[in-house]
Amino acid sequence: MNVEEEVGRLKEEIQRLGQQQPDGSYKVKFGVLFNDDRCANIFEALVGTLRAAKKRKVLTYDGELLLQGVHDNVEITLLPPPAVAAA
């Protein structure tokens, strides 16, 4: 799987596990994502995929590096698609 593919799968998983917000974004806590069995099977390096998605401005979260346990309550926000954001 290449990076773009992984980022796409990550978006799907955040939508599956997260809560949709009124602005069209989705929020999920890092611990929920990290501890999900399906995510564990899909992503070899979840933290690396999160960083790649953040760099591409697909999602946002506080900090640079998320670690299991320490950052379980950090909220990850999947940004709404540009068409929805502009509407």
Binned average pLDDT, 10 residues per bin, the chain of 87 residues: 91 97 96 95 93 96 93 96 61
Class of domain 3-73: mainly alpha
SS (H, E, C) the chain: CCHHHHHHHHHHHHHHHCEECCCCCEEEEHHHHHHCHHHHHHCCCHHHHHHHHHHCCCEECCCCCCCCCCCCCCEEEECCCHHHHHC
Domain range annotation of the chain = 3-73
pLDDT value for 24:
94
State the Cα–Cα distance between residues 28 and 1, nearest whole angstrom: 23
Write down the pTM of the prediction: 0.89
